[in-house]
A and B are shown apart, each in its own frame.
Chain A
Amino acid sequence: MDEVVVQEFIEQEEDTQKGKFLIFTLEKESYGIEIKYVTEIIGIQQITEVPELPEYIRGIINLRGKIIPVMDVRLRFKKPFKEYNDRTCVIVVDIREVAIGLIVDSVSEVLSISENEIVAPPDMSKGGNKYIKGIGKVGSEVKLLLDCDKLLSGEEVENLSEI
């Protein structure tokens, strides 16, 4: 019996998370990431560099005894590096059991974006939007909604096929 209750509870919880996005900024753009992936948001921490990794993986941090890698989303999107300041945040996400920290300029809010407010990104032949799953319209602004799976795996797969 308990299981059924738990199941319902999980469903409810998923329901409340559905359609909600954590909005963060990089330069002038606003991006959204599905709230169900987000574990927590922490300030920037001391990062230990790990050699031989691509530039956008800044290294590893100690999250209360758990060691997780951190990725600079700016560098990942091939934007210029910006010195970290007190607005800089690390969004800890858990994507298919892989925990990783995303370094972003700042985190603004959590928004509900209903499905009919989301449009598919324009089909550009030359890459460009491969990390974007959709574009959410909120009032007069647009939020770029990230595809988390691709963020973690996209380029590596390409790299391999290039070799």
Chain B
Amino acid sequence: MSEPYSNEPMLDMYIFETTQNIEQLETLILLCEKNSSYDQESVNEIFRIMHTIKGTSSMMLFNNISTLAHSMEDLFYYIREQKPKDIDYSIVSDLVLEGIDFIKAELQKIMADEPVDGDCAHLIDNIKEFLSLIKQQNHSDIDIKKPVSNSKQQYYIAPDKSGNSLQANYFKATIFFEDGCEMENLRAYTIIHTLKELTQEVYFIPEDIMENDQTAEIIRKQGFKVYVKIDLSYDELHQLLMQTIFLKDLELVQLDNGEELNQYFKPVKRSVEEIPIKIPKIQPQESTSVSVNQNMISVNVEKLDKLMDLVGEMVIAEAMVVQNPDLVGLELNNFYKAARHLHKITSEIQDMVMSIRMVPLSTTFHKMYRIVRDMTRKLHKEVNLKLIGEETEVDKNIIEHISDPLMHLIRNAIDHGIENGDEREALGKPRAGKLILEAKNAGGDVLVIVKDDGRGLNKEKILKRAKENHLLTKPESEMSDREIYELILLPGFSTKDSASEFSGRGVGMDVVLKNLETIGGSVTVDSIEGRGTTITLKIPLTLAIIDGMNIKVGDSRYTIPTVAIKESFRPKETDLIKDPDGNEMIMVRGECYSILRLHEHFGVNTDIKDFSEGILIMVEQGNKSLCLFADQLLGQQQVVVKALPNYIRNFKKIEGLAGCTLLGDGSISLILDIAGLISK
């Protein structure tokens, strides 16, 4: 009984759907709360979501989720039917959000393959208590019906298939389940669910199997009767039904005509007509997403990763063919024409695959509303969160990495940054704090900016703190404002004197930085005291394929991301400067840049040690520039970024290397980490 459905795809689908439903529900609740009213459409939508979660959860035997959803459904059923006037909607929101949190936690457990054992009894009690309270307040003398059959089928009806019922046959099936398999009504429902995918004309007795657990008893005694009009032959249908789990006995009869059934089919047809009315449309935005959904399929990310890898291999293979050493010196006009065509197609495929992996930041951004809500309530602050550019798209992998850092930043901003209402008024600021979360594209990067209008960072406090923790690496007087602010990114730094529930354990900001560094991003901090703080996260658009310039040093090949290169040139002897420490520098158009000899840095043997024989490549990252000295440029190529093998990464983090890639001839080139080289 513990695991009757070892059906993995079904579980995946359940998790996926429920997560989506929960997210939708959360957004909806927050929106309603913002408008401080629950309009009819929202209530309907919430009711529908709860109903779906309840149904699917009980089908998957996650009873605690389904009972919780059931109690919430009852609550909203009451609200929907009675339209009570005096309801404290903030309590409703609290109850539902608590429920959402519970379901989320349970989903996590399901995903981690742990027993789903959360106890939601107190939540249910709270909801029930509240429900009876509002019933009293509203003096409702109409007894509440259980939300039953009036909502029964309209959500599960497959797209209109009546057109193809030309050769339809009529069947009557009576199904008995094995003794003691329990939950007969749910098992029966799975049969109906399967049949619904094939035809819409299904009728069954007893009819309220999903809503009424009593029906299990009826099915146990009298069997589950299904009337169906379907264009399958007797054998096909028989085979289909025989697959039912815990099936004990199946009695399938083909009926000559539909007369016996027609009486039953009418209600189904009517409910088809009801759909447009019953399924509530919340907002224009929501309703478009509903209609778009029809054209969407959900794909496992692993498959996309695999596809990405394959496309990467293809790009390399293409380069292998086109840049094959055997071709050197040959006149091959037609070959190159074909090669160009191939290149066009491969790069289109590549773009397409990349675009598949791109997801808008909006889901991640919308999660922040919830955090802001919870925190402002607990801390009694007023904060308005504004989202800008939430439609900006980034790679799926990256989204996973920035969700936590963003949460940290938002928490920090509300906890440390924004003052409470009275303090703000005293300072002549509007009572409610403003928090802006913005995303925008900038070249090959995406900038995510968290900006508050709170008290800003206090330089003296930061310096004092840094001194106490021995975090200063150079004299105070030499540090720029920005350098001081960036001290807060160091591990073991927290200016808040005591740790609060939300932040301030001194582990926040360095985690933010670390998380971003793993995806090749960076963090900058700006602040004006008394006016607010701006934290900018710079993240690469994608991890997978970059434009790179291949260079040669001795026998080794390196790749520099093209976006980082400003120019490359051969220096004039007269522009070179050497300081007493032996550091080499070069004057370019009146500015002085330091030079890094790659062969020295990486310990590579090369004959070219004189600047006049090699080439200098000026690279830039952030606002800092550096000239790299290499033997020669080999040419530009799109390269697939691969991580260094785990073994080496576990060994140590090699400074100045971001990863590696395969070149056209199958050899490996190391990708330089420009930010790492410059910061050295």
Q: Is there a chain B Cβ closer than 8 Å to A148's Cβ? A: no
Determine whether the beta carbon of A48 is less than 8 Å from that of B657.
Answer: no
CB distance from B647 to the nearest CB of A (A): 5
Interface flags, A54-88, vs B, CB<8A=1, else 0: 00010011100101110000000000000000000
For B440, the chain A residues whose CB sits under 8 A away are none
Determine whether the beta carbon of A62 is less than 8 Å from that of B668.
Answer: yes
For A98, the chain B residues whose CB sits under 8 A away are 645-647
> Using a CB-CB cutoff of 8 Å, which residues 145-163 of chain A contact chain B?
152, 156
A61, A62, A69, A97: the one contacting B648 at CB < 8 Å is A69
Determine whether the beta carbon of A50 is less than 8 Å from that of B654.
Answer: yes
For B668, the chain A residues whose CB sits under 8 A away are 48, 60-62, 67
For A5, the chain B residues whose CB sits under 8 A away are none
Q: Is there a chain B Cβ closer than 8 Å to A103's Cβ? A: no
Interface size, B (range): 20 to 34
For A57, the chain B residues whose CB sits under 8 A away are 648, 651
Determine whether the beta carbon of B645 is less than 8 Å from that of A51.
Answer: no
Interface flags, B646-679, vs A, CB<8A=1, else 0: 1110011011110010100011111000000000
B316, B647, B656, B666: the one contacting A100 at CB < 8 Å is B647
For A97, the chain B residues whose CB sits under 8 A away are 646
With contact pairs A62-B662, A65-B313 given, residues A50 and B604 touching in the complex (Cβ less than 8 Å): no
For B556, the chain A residues whose CB sits under 8 A away are 48-49
Q: Is there a chain A Cβ closer than 8 Å to B431's Cβ? A: no
Q: Is there a chain A Cβ closer than 8 Å to B603's Cβ? A: yes
- Please report the C-alpha to C-alpha distance between residue A3 and residue B644 in the assembled complex, in whole angstroms: 35
Determine whether the beta carbon of A53 is less than 8 Å from that of B644.
Answer: no
Determine whether the beta carbon of B604 is less than 8 Å from that of A65.
Answer: no
With contact pairs A48-B668, A67-B668 given, residues A152 and B654 touching in the complex (Cβ less than 8 Å): no
Determine whether the beta carbon of A51 is less than 8 Å from that of B603.
Answer: yes
Determine whether the beta carbon of A68 is less than 8 Å from that of B654.
Answer: no
B313, B603, B604, B644: the one contacting A60 at CB < 8 Å is B644
- Please report the C-alpha to C-alpha distance between residue A99 and residue B647 in the assembled complex, in whole angstroms: 8
CB distance from A131 to the nearest CB of B (A): 16
Q: Is there a chain B Cβ closer than 8 Å to A123's Cβ? A: no
CB distance from B5 to the nearest CB of A (A): 15
> Using a CB-CB cutoff of 8 Å, which residues 290-334 of chain B contact chain A?
313, 316
Q: Is there a chain B Cβ closer than 8 Å to A52's Cβ? A: yes
- Please report the C-alpha to C-alpha distance between residue A62 and residue B668 in the assembled complex, in whole angstroms: 7
- Please report the C-alpha to C-alpha distance between residue A65 and residue B666 in the assembled complex, in whole angstroms: 8
Determine whether the beta carbon of B646 is less than 8 Å from that of A51.
Answer: no
For A68, the chain B residues whose CB sits under 8 A away are 645
Determine whether the beta carbon of B662 is less than 8 Å from that of A52.
Answer: no
Interface flags, B392-428, vs A, CB<8A=1, else 0: 0000000000000000000000000000000000000
CB distance from B79 to the nearest CB of A (A): 48
For A67, the chain B residues whose CB sits under 8 A away are 642, 644-645, 660, 662, 668
What would 12 more interface pairs be, CB under 8 Å, given A48-B556, A50-B654, A53-B652?
A46-B667, A48-B667, A48-B669, A51-B654, A53-B648, A62-B667, A67-B645, A67-B660, A68-B645, A69-B648, A97-B646, A100-B647
